[in-house]
Structure 1
Amino acid sequence: MNDFGERAQGMTANQDLNLDDWRRAVDTVSRGQVIELGREFHSGMPHYPTHPDFEISLFRRHGDRVRADGASSASCHWSFGGHTGTHIDALCHVSQCGVMFDDTPADNDLIESGKAAGDAADFSAYLRRGILFDIAALDGVESLSGDRLITPEDLEKASDAQGIDVRQGDVALIRTGWGRHWGSDAYIGHDTPGPGFEAALWLADKGVELVGSDTAVFEKGPVTEAAPVHRLLLLERQIRIMENLDLEALSAAKVYAFFFMALPLRVRGGTASPLRPIAVC
């Protein structure tokens, strides 16, 4: 069996979900409402400066070829980075001192060829209970200020105020309100709010499966000389990260526990995948 076949065979068990986790997620559904948690992908969309633009064009246009019966078709070409728009980070996204999450040397050629562990091909379907920490609502503001660092105390207060408890396997989302700046120059600012290392550690110790926020980077920005939250979650705890979420509708509906669903693209060699997450409540 080749390398790809062995990897695919090894991933089968990761698709299974404990039935108790399914029931816990489904039990949160009471309204029959679906809320989109992701951003539309479009040309000119905001993105972190270290990642490529999103560009879309018609590769084939109506009229380029017209069939005998008058029918024609168009097809599109996309070009963008895996970390542009709403996305999920793969474990191979970060390294520390040349070492990956599985204690192997960081090998760019191996990642690019799709033969390294922890790339986007390793993503599973995420069907779990989701919980929302609405920190902006907790502070009584539409959006946190760019210098706001989210602490474990903030998460605990939000849990109490919103009547949620964090359980093993949960998907934890943090709303800062910064998503209100989406589409403006302020969204990718020098300073952006986000969780600090201690808040990330608090979530990790609670056993969350996946985290995400309504900012371009899941930690207090800017990320310049260090990214301690990414290092802790991806590298040390193997907890994947979602960024550029839209949490405004979820907050407006005052939904703090829900059935979270997301299906990442499984891309060999990908350090991230675009994502369309939803909340069913």
Structure 2
Amino acid sequence: MGKRADVKVANSPWGPDDELGALNLLDPSVRADVLQRADPARVYDLSIDYFVGMPSFQGAGDPSYQIFMSHTPQGTVVDNLNGAGSSVNKHVCYSGDVVFMYTHTGTHIDALNHFGVDGEIYNKFKSEDHLGSRAWTKGGAETIPPIITRGVLLDIAGLKKVDCLPDSYAITVADIEEALEQAGLTLQPGDVPFVRTGRMRYWPDGTKTLGSPPGLSLEAARWLTSLDISAIGSDQECVEVGPSEHEDNWLPGHTHFLAHAGVPMVELLNLEELAADGVDEFCLIAAPIRLRGATGAPMRPLAMALRPKA
């Protein structure tokens, strides 16, 4: 602590009504290229499953993941809530359930309305004008389009030759440059870098996967967005290092990525299989549930290794 982040909300270069931010950088020609070069021999599922008792962020009082049966085969025979009658319900086995959770649970994407500065979110949308009783009317999860582009693995744990980076390790620009050099890659506009800290190798042990996360320093975050990435992700709960290194902002990386650069953030990715197989660049296919106005939504990112260009 002691230094200031001084993050400010930015106007979108794509106009006063823009809600996509850096996702405007997704390029149809890049999408066509990565789909053509994608190796379908193996599809990597970068998400984690949801279950009662799973580790989740509850530090600010948010609920844990819960699932409840709302209909069971025998219960339907007894209560006949569907009105079909006893004989039919004994024949047809009906099950249904209800899920209750914080939208930033498990593998998910942060929408642009998740964090702002001084009452404003990305593109200067003000809470007094665009925040209703239930949700924001701007920058919600429903505005996020399917993301099909080039993904790049920044394996910082692998670079350091450790199973997992130490708690609260702040990833530097030099770390990222070295990881890219080692992989023989450069970041291009519209790319989505995924940062591996090694935390997911301990999932679902919440004592080792959550709290005091190693992650991006604010300087590294600013360097990445200067390269026109379209989104960012990591295998821990907040992408950035924690706790904050800046006295004026408890999550400066979030405010920079979301409110200043318009870059959505994907959290709690499982990057272990990609790293184990040495897949440094890949075709990324990902889309969130379209929860209108929500500040985040579950996401199931899929990756396929890219064949070399002809």
Give me the TM-score of the superposition, normalised by structure 2.
0.81
What residue is the counterpart of 2:251 in the other structure?
A: 227
Tell me which moved more, 243-252 or 67-76. 67-76
Residue 141 of structure 1: which of 140, 159, 162 is its match?
162
Is 2:288 the counterpart of 1:264?
A: yes
SS in structure 2 at match of 1:179: helix
Is 2:301 the counterpart of 1:277?
A: yes
SS in structure 2 at match of 1:78: strand
What residue is the counterpart of 1:6 in the other structure?
A: none
Read off the aligned partner of 1:34 and give its amino acid letter.
V
Structure 1 gap ranges (5+) = 1-9
SS in structure 2 at match of 1:249: helix
Aligned residues: 271
Residue 59 of structure 1: which of 67, 70, 85 is its match?
70
Displacement after TM superposition at 1:102 (Å): 1.9
Structure 2 gap ranges (5+) = 1-17, 78-85, 306-310
Distance 1:31 1:16, change over 3 A: same
In structure 2, how many angstroms separate the alpha carbons of the residues matched to 1:74 and 1:126? 33
What residue is the counterpart of 2:92 in the other structure?
A: 71
Please give the residue correspondences for 1:164-243 in structure 2 after superposition, counting only pairs within 5 Å.
164-184=185-205, 185-189=207-211, 191-223=212-244, 225-243=249-267
Displacement after TM superposition at 1:31 (Å): 5.5
Displacement after TM superposition at 1:113 (Å): 4.2
SS in structure 2 at match of 1:129: strand
Name the % identity: 30
In structure 2, how many angstroms separate the alpha carbons of the residues matched to 1:207 and 1:149? 22
Displacement after TM superposition at 1:24 (Å): 3.2
In structure 2, how many angstroms separate the alpha carbons of the residues matched to 1:278 and 1:109? 33
SS in structure 1 at match of 2:226: helix
In structure 2, how many angstroms separate the alpha carbons of the residues matched to 1:278 and 1:58? 29
Deviations 1:56-82 (A, max 9, x none): 121111212246351111001100011
In structure 1, how many angstroms separate the alpha carbons of the residues matched to 2:291 and 2:222? 29
Displacement after TM superposition at 1:44 (Å): 0.8
In structure 2, how many angstroms separate the alpha carbons of the residues matched to 1:204 and 1:116? 25
SS in structure 2 at match of 1:68: helix
Q: CA RMSD in A?
A: 2.4
- Conserved 8 A contact 1:111-1:269: no
Give me the TM-score of the superposition, normalised by structure 1.
0.89
